[in-house]
Structure 1
Amino acid sequence: MERGMAGGLKTVISGIVTLLALFSAVSPGFSQTSSAQLPAAAAPPAQVREMMQLMQTPEVKQWMSAQMAANPAADAATQNQMSVLSGLLQHARRHVSMVSDAAMTLPSQIANASGLFWSEIAANGFARMVAQFLAILLLGAIVESVARYAFRRRRRRLAEMAGMHLTPRVIPALVFATATMLALFSLSWPPLSQSVAIVCVIALIVQRFTICVGGVLVDLIGLARADEEQQGVTVPTMPGRAVALFWYRRCATFVIYFSFGWAAIQSMEPLGFSPSARLFVGYILGIGLLLIAVEAVWSRPHKDEKRGHGISWALTVYFLLLWGLWVTGFNWLLWLGIYMLMLPRVLAVSTIAVKSLRQTEASFLATRRIATVLLDRGVRALIIAFAAIWLGQLLGVGADTMAAGDKMVDKIARGVIGGIVILLAADLLWHVVKAYIDGKLLDSPLDGTATDEEKAKHARIQTLLPIFRNILAVVIAVIAVLMVLSGLGIEIGPLIAGAGVVGVAVGFGAQTIVKDVISGMFYLWDDAFRVGEYIESGSHKGVVEAFSLRSVKLRHHRGPLTTVPFGELGAVKNLNRDWTIDKISLNVKYDTDLVKAKKVIKQIGQTLLENPEFAPHIIETLKMKGVEQFGEFAIEIRLSMMTKPGEQFVIRRNALAMIRNAFSENGIEFAVPTVQVAGDRGAELDAAVARYAEHARAGGEPAA
């Protein structure tokens, strides 16, 4: 079967070479060599000579000039379109002609390169050069195997110490790369062999790290999927390990094939191969990449039987079109097509990898928000920035070739690419800062042993950081937009000046909003209140829940949430600062023993101090201050205590209950207002009873 596939591949390659050669031979004007070999054109027939003579007459020339003058715009547009299409066609024909000519001279170039290479090897010793090449090819694998054997018992312990699942796979790859590089640098190489050895080492290291990174991704996805299954997730967000393993094998095969093909093409340059010959070999090797991609599409797992074949055929045609664009020399279209297909999937894979790292218990990203953001957003930014810069270089080459002298296109292309990089950097900076601020805000709350200064500092942070986060978002967005506009060639000086004028006009037109913002800045500057504090201002009162640049949100103790603009607050009464004095008034009877009452209240205050629940919040315990005033029916005595803000309500309720019980036990009575009614009600009752008795003796009915 393998022989059959090899024979079929040789047939395909031979057919492509033959078609390219025939296309070059039959296309007039492809190159100077081919055009020189064409026979001279035959003499035109008599009818053609008559038509040419007729076109030279003055009447025909005048009519043609009038027709061209009647519609110059359409003629110019048609000429421009034809020139663009003609330029593209000529570019493709020249490129194919160059590559097909190289195919004809490839055998002679191979012979010359072989002579140079083998003569250099013979001059430096055949056995020595073979040993050196075997050293760079095998030494890395041998050292890696020895390291694995030496550390096989410490592998799990090393992974636990590092706290990462990456360690068991990354360290062997680093050992392989180090040993291979040492083998390259420690040996002396002749010029040609050194160039070949360098590209071979690069290809070896790339294939080793491809296997390493792919294996790490498969392991992480498998662990994350297993964790989701243990948690009973009905709709898993991770692909199965079998699916991940399938795509890992195909992608690894693609990358390894590409790296060694690149090494082969790069090795051809110092051996004297022409650029067109290297391109021809690259196109032939590209057939292997095409076959790998097509095989992956047709054998992918979980393929829908109804739609699967249609998608497979569409992707196959798409891959053939990309290979055709590559062969005809339209590299910028080739990479644009590759980006459209691969960039979303590469970003999705990076997101899955970071999510898998976060879900893995042994991951070092489990408790590090900034590291997670740097990896997630950083990888996205690097992928998109690299793709944009690479595509920009290709577009720059296309602009120089197809539209020479068009500097505006180059400027716009550079501005767009620079803008993408700037926006990616701004997005990364914003998410890093946001992760840091959110981490500070989500820190564990203070425990009961925290001091008042620590609590005040914590409340201050909870108050200022959200506002700072919003301001920073606006600043980063404005600076990024201005830098992008500057990169596009737009003068931002007039924009800034105009923004200043517009800002002044908006300030006059929106004085209330400006007043709210400025008032809020001064409230925060004066530290008038913080998140979690209870404040009163006019008819507004409640616990401060959140801020914005313009208003504050107050949660009333009954539940309603009020949004109050800073400009409407006015004087603010903060009920949660430092301390508070709570006063209690009691009414007792005039015959009360005040000395005894004072002793009872003092004993209650001592009891409150001995209570472990109330003692930390009492600054000065409950005391009787004395007689406040004499009322109409009672003596009013005044009690007071000093507590921490917000704690006086609970202590007051318990103190009142204790006072009531203690007064009852000691015979101290509270005074309440009473009403006494005076009159001769008893005589009237006696007369009524007498009348009733008289009627009873007479046998009559009692009077009503």
Structure 2
Amino acid sequence: MERDAAGVLKAAISGILALIVLLGGISPSFAQTSPAQAPAAAAPPAQVREMMQLMQTPEVKQWMSTQMATAPAGGSAAADQMSVLSGLLQHARRHVAMVSDAAMTLPFQIGNASSLFLGEIAANGWPRMVAQFLAIFLLGAMVESLARYAFRRRRRRLAAMAGMHLAPRVIPALIFAAATVLALLSLGWPPLSQSIAIVCVVALIVQRFTICLGGVLVDLIGLARAEEERQGITAPTMPGRVVALFWYRRCATFVIYFMLGWAAIQSMEPLGYSPSARLLVGYILGIGLLLIAIESVWSRPHKDEKRGHGISWALTVYFLLLWSLWVAGFNWLLWLGIYVLLLPRVLAVSTIAVKSLQQTEASFLATRRIATVLLDRGVRALIIAVAAIWLGQMLGVGADTMAAGETMVDKIARGVIGGIVILLAADLLWHVIKAYIDGKLLDSSVDGGATDEEKARRARIQTLLPIFRNILAVVIAVIAALMVLSGLGIEIRPLIAGAGVVGVAVGFGAQTIVKDVISGMFYLWDDAFRIGEYIESGSHKGVVEAFSLRSVKLRHHRGPLTTVPFGELGAVKNLNRDWTIDKISLNVKYDTDLVKAKKVIKQIGQTLLENPEFGPHIIETLKMKGVEQFGEFAIEIRLSMMTKPGEQFVIRRNALAMIRNAFKENGIEFAVPTVQVAGDRDAEVDAAVARYAAHARANGEPAA
């Protein structure tokens, strides 16, 4: 069971990658079908040469141009379309006829090639040549087996290390390639055998690395799927192991078959086969590729019974159409069809691979943000760029077309392909820069323990880097757009001059925006405020939360967020710089012992200074400054302390509570306003009492 599992893990690339390699497998060697590559025709007869010379005379050229200029315009569009269709039909007929004629001469060419190759082998000795070919086929596999045995004991330890999931598979493949190339270089080869041996070595190495990387991808997908199941994710993003192994086996089969066919066709060239004969063999071998693709589509796992058959039939017809275009010689249509089906699936597989690597190597990539971006965006950009450049090569659009004289269509095609590459490079550059800046912002967070100088530096970084990031985004976008326009043949110097004029006009029409942007630049230049600082400006106050090119966002201490343009700020009061002095006023009675009160307050200040929570934030502790003034009902005394910005509020509240308790313990009373009301009510009461006593005595009654 372990041996079967190991064989299964070696067998494939993943999901949809089989179709990717399937269609990508139609290489230029299989697709060299241009009539220009056919064997040179025999020399034309003398009459034909005379006619061609006559066509080059100025008189004939002038007469032909006149006739074309005076031709009736009606029906020209239809005539052009008919001529295009007729040209395509003639091209297909010539191509098929060329390949068909090669079938008649193929037995003769096989006989010549066999005698040529066997004669070289016989001249150099059969045992020696057989041994040399066996060496390049077997030496790499033998050395790789030894490497696998060495890695078997250390595989678990390497897999547990960050970034080492690739090592147990990639290193033996590298050893295989090195041993095979060494066998090729260390042996002496005759000319024909050397060409064939080089082709065989290339085919072996490509096969080995395709299988190796496919196995790595299957391992990563399996680990990522296991991680999702461990986390309890109900909707997994990774394909199942059955799907991955299915496409892995199909991909391995396809790559082996394709590279064998490629090696056979490439080996035919030094043996003297004509281009048409090589094309014929390629088309015949291409039937095998077609069958592998169709079988993969129809036997794919987990397909819907109703909808799946319709997709299978559609893909089967599509593959047959592509093979027919290839045989007919329409390479540009062939590659367009391949790219329509290929590119989305390549990007999907690359996304799955990157996501799997990120999940399985999360600890390794957590501190390597740029590596993560290069994996995510770089692989995608590389795939699209290579696809665009390769498509341009297949369509005959290269860097040398301008020197050879290019048509408008070639110029536009070259500009579009170059524009795609430029935009992809700009996108990758922007995401790398953004990842670097975001990492710096995350590392420079003002939270956590740090010195005051370090906190100030971090706050400065938090303020300036977002502005710098936005400026870089604009610069990269503008430069990329100008480069794309230049590649399309558009003169950009008038655009730049016009943009300057438009900029001046916009500046006059949007003076407020210009004022805001310039004011913001000077505020940042003067370091007037930073992220996280509390500022006041006119009617606006709050904590600075974020910047843009023209405004600042202030969070009020009660919650509202205010966006203030820089042009409206004016003078800014920063309440979070260096230090702050907090003053406290107390009212005590006139009979208060001020010396005693000063001692009590001094003791409270010392207690605050010794407190581990408040002490680090106190620059000058609480102390009594003296009598501020004599009030109507109290003596007003003034207290002060110097603290770090923003810390005075908490320290002040605790200091007031301590002062109240200490004054109560030491008999010091706070003065409060009192009201005394005076009148004649007491005199009236005394008079009433006296009258009552006199009346009682007169009547002989006892006084109360």
Q: TM-score, normalising length from structure 2?
A: 0.86
Taking the aligned partners of 2:154 and 2:41, their CA distance within structure 1 comes to 68
> What amino acid sits opposite 2:521 in the alignment?
M
Most deviating of 407-416 and 362-371: 362-371
Question: Are residue 303 (structure 1) and residue 303 (structure 2) matched?
Answer: yes
1:138 matched residue in structure 2: 138
Letter in 2 for 1:250: R
Partner of 1:553: helix, strand, or coil?
Answer: strand
Secondary structure at 2:396 match in 1 = helix
User: Which amino acid is 1:240 matched to?
Assistant: G
Answer yes or no: is the 8 Å Cα contact 1:163–1:362 preserved in 2.
no
What CA distance in whole angstroms lies between the structure 2 residues aligned with 1:198 and 1:692?
A: 144
8 Å contact kept, 1:261–1:285:
yes
Contact 1:359 1:366 in 2 (8 A): no
Deviations 1:58-113 (A, max 9, x none): xxxxxxxxxx9999434211211111011101110111011011111111111101
In the other structure, the counterpart of 1:440 is 440
2:585 maps to: 585
- Give CA-to-partner distance per residue, 1:367-400, whole Å, 9 cap, x none: 32110111221111111111111111222279x9
1:266/1:635 CA distance change after superposition, 3 Å:
same
- What do the CA deviations read for 1:520-573 (whole angstroms, capped 9, x no partner)? 111111111111111111110101111101100000110000000000001111
Matched residue, 1:644: 644
Is this contact kept in 2: 1:143–1:179, CA < 8 A?
yes
Counterpart secondary structure, 1:389 = helix
94 and 588 in structure 1: CA distance in 2 versus 1, 3 angstrom threshold: same
Q: Is the 8 A contact 2:444 2:462 kept in 1?
A: no
Partner of 2:168: 168
* Cα deviation code 1:395-435 (max 9, x no counterpart): 2279x99xx97611111111111101100100000010111
Question: For residue 59 of structure 2, what is the aligned residue in structure 1?
Answer: none
| Structure 1 position 574 matched with structure 2 position 574 | yes
Q: Match of 1:248?
A: 248
Q: CA deviation at 1:353?
A: 0.4
CA distance in 1, matches of 2:98, 2:501: 61
- What is the distance in 1 between the residues matched to 2:354 and 2:560? 41
- Which residue number corresponds to residue 350 of structure 1? 350
Task: Say which is worse superposed, 446-455 or 325-334, in terms of deviation.
Answer: 446-455
Matched, 1:410 2:407: no
SS state of the match for residue 82, structure 1?
helix
Question: Counterpart in 2 of 1:488?
Answer: 488
Partner of 1:317: 317
* CA distance in structure 2 between the aligned counterparts of 1:108 and 1:279, rounded to whole angstroms: 16
After TM superposition, which residue ranges in structure 1, 4 or more long, deviate above 6 angstroms? 68-71, 686-694
Q: Does residue 336 of the first structure (1) align with residue 326 of the second (2)? A: no
SS at match of 2:207: helix
Structure number with higher relative contact order (C-alpha < 8 Å, ≥ 6 residues apart): 2
Tell me the equivalent position of 1:459: 459
**1:588-644 deviations in Å (ceiling 9; x for gaps):** 111111111110000000000110101100010001111111111111111110100
Deviation, structure 1 residue 689: 9.1
Task: Answer whether contact 1:627 1:638 (CA < 8 A) is retained.
Answer: yes
Checking the alignment, whether the CA contact within 8 Å between 1:542 and 1:557 is kept in structure 2 is yes
Which residue is 2:669 aligned to? 669
Consecutive unaligned residues of structure 1, counting only runs of 5 or more, are 1-30, 37-67, 695-704
CA distance in 2, matches of 1:564, 1:235: 44
Aligned partners of 2:583, 2:643: CA distance in 1, in Å? 11
Q: For the Cα contact (< 8 Å) 2:587–2:636, is it kept in 1?
A: yes
Q: In the TM superposition, what are the counterparts of 1:384-533 in structure 2 within 5 Å? A: 384-396=384-396, 407-443=407-443, 445=445, 449-533=449-533
Partner of 1:84: 84
Equivalent position amino acid for 2:286 in 1: G
Residue in 1 aligned with 2:32?
A: none
Aligned match of 1:179: 179
* 1:201 counterpart residue number: 201
SS in 1 for 2:543: strand
Gap change, CA 1:445 and 1:69, over 3 Å in 2: closer
Work out whether 1:268 is the aligned partner of 2:303.
Answer: no
Matches of 1:688 and 1:582, distance apart in 2: 60
2:184 is the alignment partner of 1:212? no
Q: Which residue of 1 aligns with 2:550?
A: 550
Contact 1:164 1:363 in 2 (8 A): no
Aligned twin of 2:120: 120
2:654 aligned residue: 654
Match of 1:516, SS? helix
Gaps of 5+ in 2: 1-39, 46-67, 695-704
Task: For residue 676 of structure 2, give the secondary structure of its aligned residue in structure 1.
Answer: coil
AA aligned opposite 1:650: V
On the 8 A contact 2:446/2:459 being kept in 1, the answer is no
The 3 A distance-change label for structure 1 pair 468 and 676 is same
1:601 equivalent in alignment to 2:589: no
CA RMSD of aligned residues (A): 2.4
In structure 2, C-alpha distance between the alignment counterparts of 1:106 and 1:70, rounded to whole Å: 50
Q: Deviations over 1:149-202 (max 9, x none)?
A: 233222223344463211111111111111111011111111000000001001
Shift of 1:458: 0.9
1:444–1:566 Cα change, 3 Å: closer
Distance of 1:375 and 1:114 partners within structure 2: 49
What secondary structure sits across from 1:396 in the alignment?
coil
Are positions 1:286 and 2:261 aligned together?
Answer: no
Distance across 1 between alignment mates of 2:72 and 2:584: 100
Cα distance in structure 1, aligned partners of 2:75 and 2:689: 134
One-letter code aligned to 1:537: S
Rounded to whole Å, the distance in 1 between the matches of 2:114 and 2:348 is 45
Q: Is the 1:322–1:337 Cα contact (8 Å) retained in structure 2?
A: yes
Distance change (3 Å), C-alpha of 1:195 and 1:633: same
Contact 1:211–1:252 (8 Å) recurs in 2? yes
CA distance in 1 between counterparts of 2:364 and 2:153 reads 22
> 1:365 offset after TM fit, Å?
2.8
How many angstroms apart in 1 are the aligned matches of 2:537 and 2:236? 52
Q: Residues 164 and 310 from structure 1, CA distance in 2 versus in 1: closer, same or farther, beyond 3 angstroms?
A: same
Q: Which amino acid aligns with 1:151?
A: F
Structure 1 residues 69 and 449, CA gap change in structure 2 (3 angstroms): closer
Contact 1:357 1:366 in 2 (8 A): no
Tell whether the 8 Å contact from 1:165 to 1:363 is kept in structure 2 after alignment. no
Q: How does 1:355-374 map to 2 (within 5 A)?
A: 355-361=355-361, 364-374=364-374
Q: What does the per-residue CA deviation read over 1:323-368, in whole Å, with 9 as the maximum and x for residues that have no partner?
A: 0000000011101101000100000100110000111147733432
Question: Following the alignment from structure 2 to structure 1, what is the Cα–Cα distance between the partners of residues 127 and 318?
Answer: 48
Task: Specify the SS of the correspondent of 2:501.
Answer: helix
* 3-state secondary structure, aligned to 1:163: coil
Contact 1:430 1:473 (C-alpha < 8 Å) held by counterparts: yes
Most deviating of 341-350 and 373-382? 373-382
Counterpart secondary structure, 2:395: helix
The 8 Å contact of residues 621 and 641 in structure 2, kept in 1 or not, is answered as yes
Secondary structure at the counterpart of residue 99 of structure 2: helix
- Name the amino acid aligned to 2:206: V
Identity rate, percent: 89
Q: Give the whole-Å Cα distance in 1 for the aligned partners of 2:132 and 2:296.
A: 37
Q: Which whole-Å CA distance do the structure 2 matches of 1:689 and 1:474 have between them?
A: 99
Residue 109 of structure 1 aligns to which amino acid in structure 2? Q
1:679 is matched by which residue type in structure 2? G
Structure 1 position 229, deviation (Å): 1.1
Deviation at 1:687, TM superposition (A): 7.6
In structure 2, distance between residues paired with 1:608 and 1:536: 29
Residue 514 of structure 1 and its aligned partner are, at CA, apart by: 0.5
Q: Distance in 2 between matches of 1:106 and 1:691?
A: 158
1:444 offset after TM fit, Å? Answer: 7.0
Structure 1 239/448 Cα, relative in aligned 2: closer, same or farther at 3 Å? closer
SS in 1 for 2:152: coil
